[in-house]
A and B are shown apart, each in its own frame.
Chain A
Amino acid sequence: GAVVSQHPSRVICKSGTSVKIECRSLDFQATTMFWYRQFPKKSLMLMATSNEGSKATYEQGVEKDKFLINHASLTLSTLTVTSAHPEDSSFYICSASTATDSYEQYFGPGTRLTVT
């Protein structure tokens, strides 16, 4: 149980285009979802926290207009990187938690974004 999927697993896009990453909780309802960014050989950096049906809460230094987060249902959150630039290339990981086990997060497998 508690499986989280991400799609796509890898994506290459051209500079200036937008790319959407999906995060789905497959067998549970995720009241809260998190988006992290991980640089090579580095730890996870929390980008934003989203609750179903409400606006995401972004961490300091994360541009909300660049990284659009939508949490439209209890099983789906999306991260859209708008007007991508090479410096946006990174490994993006989502996680989800439930109302009954709110301090434990279930992680997706990650999405490798490369902007050329």
Chain B
Amino acid sequence: AQSVTQPDIHITVSEGASLELRCNYSYGATPYLFWYVQSPGQGLQLLLKYFSGDTLVQGIKGFEAEFKRSQSSFNLRKPSVHWSDAAEYFCAVAHTGGFKTIFGAGTRLFVKA
């Protein structure tokens, strides 16, 4: 069965520091992978996605993610975090046999001044 694991429930980083949020997936074929961000009380905004091709994907707001098949990972990175990046981040994998998307449990990012 498919699954998505985000090992870190919450992470705190200083403003200006680099960020890496971890995501591991379990899926038999090459998955479609996504990172979403959710601000409190809001819906989800797509940061970036990987379907195929270059394994380093650039997204909005300065985020990037790298697909590593050998590690079944799709970690999200940002070189310099801004206070406005504080939010909940969800990694997700889409079922290539249909439309169902499985979400990880989320990682809450706190940014300290």
Chain A interfacial positions (CB closer than 8 Å to B): 4, 6, 32, 34, 41-44, 46, 49, 91, 93, 95, 97, 102-110, 112
Residues of B contacting A: mostly: strand
Question: Does B46 reach chain A (CB closer than 8 Å)?
Answer: yes
**Interface stretch (choices B15-23, B66-74, B76-84, B94-102):** B94-102
Q: Given A46-B100, A109-B43, 20 more contacts at CB 8 Å?
A: A34-B99, A34-B101, A42-B105, A42-B106, A43-B103, A43-B105, A44-B44, A44-B103, A93-B43, A95-B44, A97-B99, A102-B99, A103-B96, A104-B34, A104-B46, A107-B36, A107-B45, A109-B42, A110-B41, A110-B42
Most chain B CB within a 10 A radius of its CB, from A32, A43, A49: A43
Partner of B100, one of A43, A49, A93, A112: A49
* Contact call B46/A43, Cβ cutoff below 8 A: no
* Contact call A103/B90, Cβ cutoff below 8 A: no
Q: Please, how many residues of chain B have a CB less than 8 angstroms from a CB on the other chain? A: 22
* Given the contacts A93-B44, A112-B41, A105 and B101 also touching, CB distance less than 8 Å: yes
Chain B interfacial positions (CB closer than 8 Å to A): 32, 34, 36, 41-46, 49, 51, 90, 94, 96, 99-101, 103-106, 108
CB neighbours of B96 from chain A (8 A): 103
* Contact call A104/B106, Cβ cutoff below 8 A: no
A41 to B41 alpha-carbon distance, docked (Å): 11
In the complex, residue of chain B having the shortest beta-carbon distance to the beta carbon of A112: B41
* Contact call A44/B94, Cβ cutoff below 8 A: no
* Given the contacts A32-B99, A97-B99, A43 and B106 also touching, CB distance less than 8 Å: yes
Q: How far is the CB of B22 from chain A (nearest CB, A)?
A: 15
Q: 24 A-B residue contacts at CB 8 Å?
A: A4-B43, A34-B101, A42-B106, A43-B90, A43-B104, A43-B106, A44-B44, A44-B90, A44-B103, A46-B101, A49-B100, A91-B41, A93-B44, A95-B44, A97-B99, A102-B99, A103-B96, A103-B101, A104-B34, A104-B46, A107-B44, A107-B45, A109-B42, A109-B43
